[in-house]
Structure formats: C-alpha cells, structure tokens
C-alpha cells in the first residue's frame, strides 16, 4: 500500500512513523510534512489547504488511503472533497468536524444527547458576557468559539483575568473569526484525561488513555499552549473509569452525530475532567491529540494501516496495546506560546527512542527551529517513572539556548504510582 498523511507537525510525524512500521505499507507520503520526518516519509511540497493538488497527487500516485492530521483542513472540507473524488480518506467531513470547530455546536450536541459537561452560555457581545461574569463570579472558563490552536482558552480565577480574556476575544479580535463568539463555561474540578477513539458511524473503538500538560511552565504555571508533554497510561484512572467515559461520552457523541445527519469517521478525541460525579467533557477534537498521539501510538501493537482500512470498510478491528508506559516531553522555542525567534540551529539532538519533529526547517544539513513547538522526545519503559528518567536523561544533551521544556511531565502520575 501507499498512504498519504496530511499535515506537518509532531502528530503527523507519529502517524507516519506508525504507518511505516507496517509490512503492508510500501510507501508513506507526508504533505507537506517537515524535514525532521524525511527518514519516515517522503515529504511532498503541497500545502494541507491545497485540496485540488492533494487529490491529484493521491490519484497520480495510486494512494490507497489518506489520513488527515490537523483540524484546519478538516474544517475546510478536505474529507468531503476527497470523497467526492472517489478517494479513501480517514477523517470526519466538514459537518462532523464542527464538533471541534465550534464549541457552541459541541455544547448544544452534548445538551441534546445528555453527555455530561459543565454548564455554559454563548455570547457575541462583550457587555452581555461581562455582565454574566459579574453575576456568576469566578473561577470561570472563557473560550473562543472557533479554532485557536489550543490557545483560545483561559481559566480565570479573578474577575480582572476573566474580563481581560473576554476583551482579547470579543473586542481586540485576538483570535480573528474564531472569536466572533465566546463560550463561558462552568469551572470543573478534578484531574484531566485525554481519551481518543477510532470511530466510524456508530462504531467506537477506544484507545488507551493519556494525560496532556497544557500550561507552559512547571507546576502548571503560565499560559495555555498546544501541549508541553504527555504520558500514557494514566494510572490515576481505572479501566472502569475509561469504560464509563466511553459509555457516557464517546459512544453517545458518535451516535448523536449519526442522528444529526453528520456521521463521524476518524479519530474522536474527548478532553475530560474526571470529577467526583464522573467524567465531564471539557472539549471534543476531531482528530488525534497533539502531543497525545506521540505517546499513545507507540503503545499500539496492532497494524495502524489495517485498523484504518478495516474500519473504513465497515469492520470492527480489535486493538492490541503494549502494557509499557510512554512519556513524551516537548521542546519549544523560548517565548512560546507568545512571540519567539525562528531559524535558530538545533544542535545536540536527543537520541530518544521516539523523536518527533514539528516546527523545523532545513538549511543544508542543519535543522532550524521554525515554530513554537519544535520537537517531542519520548521513551517507553515498564513504568512511567523509568520512562521519565530515560527521556530527561536524553534531553539533558539538547542545546537549550533557544529552547525550553518542562521538567515535571508525568509527576502527578508518578507520585501516585509510587505511593
């Protein structure tokens, strides 16, 4: 088989690497990919939003199926266009991807199908939203309604912080069209769990759980980012907890989308807060999480290409997972998620078992930084503690003049696992 992965980040590197492991796959293409992926996939100089050229490439190169990594092309209808061209593609249609593309759509879907989540209100006017905050107080969660690359969310513990976040979205237009509306949500207490599933219509096949670290700095301090590291499994939660989340969240969401006339195919991601009352949805995504994919896919023992094809053909594939733990740490450009310098040399790269590149470019033989999140290094071991020790040992060799990384990824789980 020949397969095409659309996207250029660490998530797409992880997907391409897992597909390349298969003895059924002869060739993996990535469009546009990045120079750090070139030993895994052949990178094609076609942007992810150039649907016409991507379709021509898939046809001309007899691609068996295409996997869409990022959210933006999904919301732009790339799956619809591939399907219209008669091509096999793994990802939700534009209509189904709205579960990620509009937080108000996702909230109303959850309301209709009794999926547990925090209470919420949607506003388009600053004054009305500010009045709501004044009346209801803090803590409160402020979210830009549309796609904001994981950065349009503020958990505000003071009214000043809440009103500033509101002003950023509705008055200063910080997130463009994504901030034409704002969702104000109840603050949920508990510990987070990222739970992804392979979905095709009513068929929901859950993966193992993971936990992401969104804040930029140690101790969950600093601004929200796209994710600074992740680990799997999450020993804080039992198999019963996972089963309940599938039963109460993922299955009703997939079934609800079928009933709404926008059946979902692809990876459905539930960002959950595990509260005293049970799992409650913080957000849905319409694709693999990043960096969750980079720690979950290395634990998948099943052939990813076979899983996808069986699912697309209406089957119910069985997944086999490694019992080992994987922990991954993101190295990001100093200043991220704010402004940062680009095109700085990457030297003394870690020799990690799993090294996934994201924001990089190449000049001659030299890799350069070209984005906020530059790479993720991950290690697999029998326990999380050992995986953590291994990855940080490797990261010590990374030259960090232009980069930074958190040093406490996985600590909550490791502390609990050791007691």
Q: Domain 191-312's class?
A: alpha beta
**pLDDT tens digit sequence for 53-62:** 999 999 999 9
Mean pLDDT computed over 372-398: 96
- Crossing angle for the helix pair 304-312 and 10-20, nearest 10 degrees? 90
Third-level CATH fold of 119-186: Dna Ligase; domain 1 (3.30.1490)
Q: No. of H helices and E strands in the chain? A: 14, 23
Q: How confident is the model at residue 150 (pLDDT cuts 50, 70, 90)?
A: low
pLDDT at site 418: 53
pLDDT at site 417: 56
Average pLDDT over the chain reads 94
Tell me if the domain spanning 325-418 has CATH number 3.90.600.10: yes
Is residue 419 over pLDDT 50?
A: no
**Which ranges in the chain are annotated with CATH 3.30.470.20?**
191-312
Mean pLDDT computed over 165-188: 88
**Which ranges in the chain are annotated with CATH 3.30.1490.20?**
119-186
Is residue 254 over pLDDT 90?
A: yes
Mean pLDDT computed over 372-396: 97
pLDDT at site 59: 98
**Which ranges in the chain are annotated with CATH 3.90.600.10?**
325-418
Is residue 345 over pLDDT 80?
A: yes
Third-level CATH fold of 2-91: Rossmann fold (3.40.50)
Q: Is the pTM of this model over 0.85?
A: yes
pLDDT at site 415: 76
- The sheet carrying 65-68 orders its strands as 42-43, 27-32, 2-7, 65-68, 89-90
Mean pLDDT computed over 214-234: 94
Is residue 151 over pLDDT 70?
A: no
**Which ranges in the chain are annotated with CATH 3.40.50.20?**
2-91
Q: How confident is the model at residue 374 (pLDDT cuts 50, 70, 90)?
A: very high
Cα 26 to Cα 4, 22, 305: the distances in Å are 11, 8, 11
Nearest to 172 by CA among 164, 161, 184: 164
**What is the token pair recorded at 23?**
């003895």
Q: Which residue has the higher pLDDT, 322 or 154?
A: 322
pLDDT at site 202: 97
Mean pLDDT computed over 172-198: 90
pLDDT > 70: what percent of the chain?
98
């Amino acid at each position: 088989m020949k397969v095409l992965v659309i996207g250029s980040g660490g998530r797409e590197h992880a997907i391409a690497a897992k597909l390349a492991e298969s003895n059924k796959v002869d060739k993996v293409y990535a469009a546009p990919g990045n120079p750090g992926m070139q030993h895994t996939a052949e990178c094609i100089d076609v942007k992810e939003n150039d649907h016409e050229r991507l379709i021509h490439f898939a046809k001309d190169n007899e691609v068996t199926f295409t996997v869409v990594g990022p959210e933006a092309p999904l919301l732009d209808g790339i799956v619809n266009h591939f399907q219209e061209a008669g091509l096999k593609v793994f990802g939700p249609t534009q209509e189904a991807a709205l579960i990620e593309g509009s937080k108000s759509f996702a909230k109303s879907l959850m309301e209709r199908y009794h999926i547990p989540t925090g209470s919420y209100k949607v506003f388009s006017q600053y004054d009305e939203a500010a009045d709501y905050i004044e009346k209801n107080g803090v803590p409160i969660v402020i979210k830009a309604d549309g796609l904001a690359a994981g950065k349009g969310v503020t958990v505000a513990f003071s009214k000043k912080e809440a009103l500033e976040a509101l002003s950023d979205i509705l008055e200063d237009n910080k997130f463009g069209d994504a901030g034409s509306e704002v969702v104000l949500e109840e603050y949920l207490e508990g510990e987070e769990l990222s739970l992804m599933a392979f979905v095709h219509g009513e068929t929901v096949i859950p993966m193992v759980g993971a936990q992401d670290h969104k804040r930029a700095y140690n101790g969950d301090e600093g601004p929200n980012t796209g994710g600074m590291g992740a680990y799997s499994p999450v020993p804080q939660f039992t198999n019963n907890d996972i089963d309940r989340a599938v039963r109460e969240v993922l299955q009703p969401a997939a079934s609800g989308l079928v009933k709404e006339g926008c059946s979902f195919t692809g990876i459905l991601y539930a960002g959950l807060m595990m509260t005293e009352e049970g799992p409650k949805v913080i957000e849905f995504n319409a694709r693999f999480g990043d960096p969750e994919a980079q720690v979950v896919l290395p634990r998948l023992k099943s052939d990813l290409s076979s899983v996808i094809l069986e699912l697309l053909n209406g089957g119910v594939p069985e997944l086999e997972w490694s019992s080992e733990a994987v922990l991954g740490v993101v190295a990001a450009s100093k200043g991220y998620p704010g402004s940062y310098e680009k095109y700085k040399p990457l030297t003394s790269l870690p020799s990690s078992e799993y090294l996934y590149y994201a924001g990089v470019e190449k000049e001659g033989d030299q890799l350069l930084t070209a984005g906020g999140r530059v790479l993720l290094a991950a290690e697999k071991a029998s326990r999380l503690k050992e995986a953590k020790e291994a990855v940080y040992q490797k990261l010590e060799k990374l030259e960090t003049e232009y980069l930074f990384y958190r040093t406490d990824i996985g600590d909550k789980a490791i502390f609990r696992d050791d007691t």
